[in-house]
Amino acid sequence: MRVCLRAGWSPRLERLAAPAFFNRSVPQTHVEMDPQPSPSSPASPASPASRGAPGARRATHVPVLLREVLQALELTPGLTVVDGTLGAGGHSLQILQRLGPSGRLISLDRDQGMIDLARPRLAAPNAKLVHASYAQLPEVLARLGIDRVDRILLDLGWCSDQLAAADRGFSFQTDAPLDLRYDTSTATPAWQLLASASEEQLVDWFESFGEDRLARQHARRIVAHRQQHPLQTTFDLVTALTGQPGPWTARGPDSRHPATQVFQALRIAVNRELDHLAQALDGVSDSCLKQHGILAVISFHSLEDRMVKQSFRDPTRWQPLLSKPVSASPAEQRLNPRSRTAQLRAARKISPDLSPLPPPTGLPPVP
């Protein structure tokens, strides 16, 4: 296990981040390849029957740090690129346009609804959409007959269109089933976890995955509430935490919803997000990325960013391309508030028996 820990991690997070925790393999779910479109055939319509799929409506998500990502990946025609987190396809579309007909794009997502939503935008013979986690990339490449790829992008945030899905519960501003799964065909929904988790388990999740200073208080409120009423919807959980059902109205200098960190912790626990990321930073990138290939990662909270930062510090495996993480510009943050916490890191893969390339002199201009 190469994901290192540093001072500043909480004791519970250090325990959860130990090799025994992260080396558990991500469950091998079914990998579904999207049908290859014919150049002369129209794009397949989005399937509204897919649970949580946004149907045929247009994507509303705006990709974060788009220009910076394209610069960091150093794209040229003919490369093979993996977008490990397809979402609505914003990054993938711009990448595909820069690869030319000789290049190849492979886009993965755990959410079938996102595959359906992005398919019309990426109906090209050299684009492949796959319903799978980026932690399953070795299996995906093996099925496609590809040894290694030139570039990998991971955007660890979730898509605005997922927030709008009525049956997932990603947004606590509307009442919805408390599911929180990216892939609704696997794993356990959040409401089931809350029904059986002990108070200590809840405290562990809230402190380690949500960095919640009120973890014990929130855990006790949940345990007390579920003895009287089941926690099955987003508003059930908000009521248990705050005593105030319905949308939250900000008061005082802190406008953050008091349930924000609890929902983050539950989402991470339900989807095993840190497990997937640990595998990607360790074995997946080693086995799937060519020498001198580039891995770019966009993180949105400190747990993810610490893991990426520590992995990229290994001089036997990575040559960092950025002296510090890149954040969204003030202009982008005004136009797209969800970009405020985004942090981009990028590194070039090296090997002990290969000399690193010359230090980067700056990001190339985006064509």
CATH at residue 343: 3.40.50.150
- Give dist(CA 273, CA 260) in Å, integer: 17
Q: Are residues 115 and 208 in the same domain?
A: no
Q: Are residues 156 and 297 in the same domain?
A: yes
Determine the pLDDT at residue 2: 38
CA neighbor of 130 nearest in space, from 121, 141, 120? 141
CATH at residue 214: 1.10.150.170
Q: Are residues 200 and 78 in the same domain?
A: no
DSSP conformational letter for 155: E
Taking residues 35-59, what's their average pLDDT? Answer: 41
Taking only the tens place, the pLDDT of each residue in 204-227 is 999 999 999 999 999 999 999 999
The number of CA neighbours under 13 Å toward the Cβ of 300 is 17
Domain end residue (candidates: 271, 297, 323): 271
Token pair of 22 as six digits: 């992260």
Q: Are residues 41 and 114 in the same domain?
A: yes
Q: Is residue 361 a part of any domain in this protein?
A: no
Give the count of domains, the chain: 2
DSSP conformational letter for 359: P
Q: Are residues 146 and 290 in the same domain?
A: yes
Taking residues 238-255, what's their average pLDDT? Answer: 71
Residue 280 pLDDT > 80: yes
Confidence of residue 258 (pLDDT cuts 50, 70, 90): confident
Determine the pLDDT at residue 34: 60
The parent domain of residue 91 ranges over 11-161+281-349
Q: Are residues 263 and 287 in the same domain?
A: no
Q: Are residues 149 and 295 in the same domain?
A: yes
Q: Which residue has the higher pLDDT, 128 or 37?
A: 128
DSSP 84-122: S--TTSHHHHHHHHHH-TT-EEEEEES-HHHHHHHGGGG
Residue 74 pLDDT > 90: yes
Q: Are 86 and 115 in contact (CB under 8 A)?
A: yes
Determine the pLDDT at residue 170: 86
Confidence of residue 10 (pLDDT cuts 50, 70, 90): very low
Taking only the tens place, the pLDDT of each residue in 281-314 is 988 888 999 999 999 999 999 999 999 999 999 9
Q: Is residue 115 a part of any domain in this protein?
A: yes
Q: Are residues 64 and 202 in the same domain?
A: no
Q: Is residue 182 a part of any domain in this protein?
A: no
Q: Is residue 251 a part of any domain in this protein?
A: yes
Q: Are residues 251 and 318 in the same domain?
A: no
Q: Are residues 216 and 339 in the same domain?
A: no
C-alpha torsion angle, residues 46, 82, 73, 161 (rounded to 10): 30
Determine the pLDDT at residue 165: 65
Confidence of residue 185 (pLDDT cuts 50, 70, 90): confident
